[in-house]
Amino acid sequence: MNKWRRLNGDKIELPIIEAVEKAIEKEHAAGHKLKVCIGTDSQVRGEDVEFATVIVFLREKKGGFMYICNFKETRKMSLRERMILEVSKSVEVSYNLCELLDLYDVALEVHADINTDPSFESNVALKEAMGYILSMGFVFKAKPDAFASSSCADKVVR
């Protein structure tokens, strides 16, 4: 089971789907319209690849907050494989939450830390990532619009 936390380090004790539902109910009760963006980023550190997946809750014109899950893989992998692994983790979390988000009419975007500019190395995985996310029925965003992965998750990779 993945361990989720808040940005301040507080552990989320509930299963993530329950924690997300409580957050949605609290935000709706406060009159906020929400959108959820899910993204993953990674960093290579020696033999390890450290990942962070984030669930970003955006309140319309009222800021936002996020839940974070860090995990690690210890093996060599190509850049393309790492990018697809990031996307697969975001898709997995999105898939687990999509029924709940639909129930509460919360928009969902899946963000990939992949550059649309072919001069950047991460572009090698753009077509596969976009196809994967879109084929699952999710809204796809890549850099420079993929802030959940390229800004939020990037800041919390350990």
Q: What is the pLDDT of residues 11-44, one digit of tens each?
A: 999 999 999 999 999 999 999 999 999 999 999 9
Tens digit of each residue's pLDDT (9 = 90 or more) over 92-133: 999 999 999 999 999 999 999 999 999 988 888 999 999 999
User: What is the distance between the alpha carbons of residues 31 and 148, in angstroms, rounded to a whole number?
Assistant: 23
Domain ranges of the chain: 4-156
The stretch 79-89 carries a mean pLDDT of 94
Report DSSP state, residue 116. S
101/104 Cα distance (integer angstroms) = 5
Q: HSE (CB half, 13 Å, CA atoms) of 60?
A: 9
At 158 the pLDDT is 76
157: pLDDT confidence band, cut at 50, 70 and 90?
confident
Annotation: CATH topology of 4-156: Nucleotidyltransferase; domain 5 (3.30.420)
For the record, the structure tokens of 80 come out as 């393309």
Among candidate residues 133, 113, 135, 134, the one with its CA nearest the CA of residue 124 = 113
77 CB burial (10 A radius; 0-12, 13-18, 19+): middle
| Cα separations in angstroms, 74 against 57, 71, 85, 149 | 30, 10, 13, 21
Q: What pLDDT, on the 0 to 100 scale, is given for residue 1? A: 53
Which DSSP state fits 27?
H
What pLDDT was estimated at residue 77? 92
C-alpha to C-alpha distance for 79 and 85, rounded to whole angstroms: 10
Mean pLDDT score of the chain, rounded to an integer? Answer: 94
What sign results for the dihedral spanned by CA atoms 83, 89, 35, 13?
A: negative
Write down the residue that tokens 């993204």 correspond to. Answer: 39
Numbers of helices and strands, H then E, in the chain: 5, 7
